[in-house]
């Protein structure tokens, strides 16, 4: 019905099993063009999300883990206005983006980076990406992971 494209869906029923939310029933709201899929996904709230039909089943990874994956010796932490700040460099397919003065939140499990901050280097959702659900103080957020 919607081969190899993105669709916006409303989850009608699902179950959580360990670190996965398995969608059992859903309703298709609309087809989403590839060039709009990233913004549409990141603007989705609650039980509505964008999902690539390249995957046979709709399974969302639930992220609650905490950890650092890089050599911490090279991280320079600044203290300004009561906040811990760091500069980060993101790289995708040889294109780099420096984001200065990101707040370092030592109690956050993950950091979500605004799509607006990285779209100039071509970071956007594609059909093979994993769709991830995050739960936090603000509620349920959907994102994608490369």
Q: What's the pLDDT at 64? A: 54
Query: Maximum CA pair distance of the chain?
Result: 53
CA-CA distance, 39 to 97, in Å (whole number)?
19
Strand partners, 96: 91
Length of the chain: 146
| Residue 2 backbone zone (phi > 0: left; psi -120 to 50: alpha; other: beta) | beta
R_g over Cα of the chain: 17
Which of 59, 70, 78 has its CA nearest to residue 18? 59
Write down the pTM of the prediction. 0.54
Question: 10-residue block means of pLDDT along the chain (146 residues)?
Answer: 88 89 93 91 87 86 56 70 85 85 77 81 85 78 81
What pLDDT is attached to residue 68? 45
DSSP for the chain reads --TTSEEEEEEEEEEEETTEEEEEEEEEEEEE-HHHHHHHHHT-BTTEEEEETTSSS-EEEEP------S-GGGPPPEEETTEEEEEEEEEETTEEEEEEEEE--TT-S-----HHHHGGGT----TTSEEEEEEETTEEEEEEE-
pLDDT of residue 46: 83
State how far the Cα of 89 lies from the Cα of 49, in Å rounded to an integer: 28
- pLDDT given at position 65: 47
């Amino acid at each position: 019905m919607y081969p190899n494209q993105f669709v916006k869906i409303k989850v009608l029923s699902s179950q959580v099993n360990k670190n996965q939310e398995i969608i059992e029933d859903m309703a298709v709201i609309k087809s989403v063009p590839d060039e709009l899929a990233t913004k549409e996904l990141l603007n989705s709230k609650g039980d509505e999300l964008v999902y690539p039909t390249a995957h046979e089943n709709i399974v969302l990874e639930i992220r609650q883990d905490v950890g650092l994956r890089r050599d911490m010796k090279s991280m320079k932490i600044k203290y300004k206005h009561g906040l811990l700040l760091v500069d980060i460099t993101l790289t995708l397919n040889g294109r780099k983006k420096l984001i200065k003065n990101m707040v370092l939140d030592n109690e956050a499990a993950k950091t979500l980076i605004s799509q607006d901050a990285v779209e100039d280097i071509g970071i956007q959702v594609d059909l093979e990406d994993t769709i991830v659900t995050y739960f936090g103080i603000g509620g349920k957020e959907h994102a994608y992971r490369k």
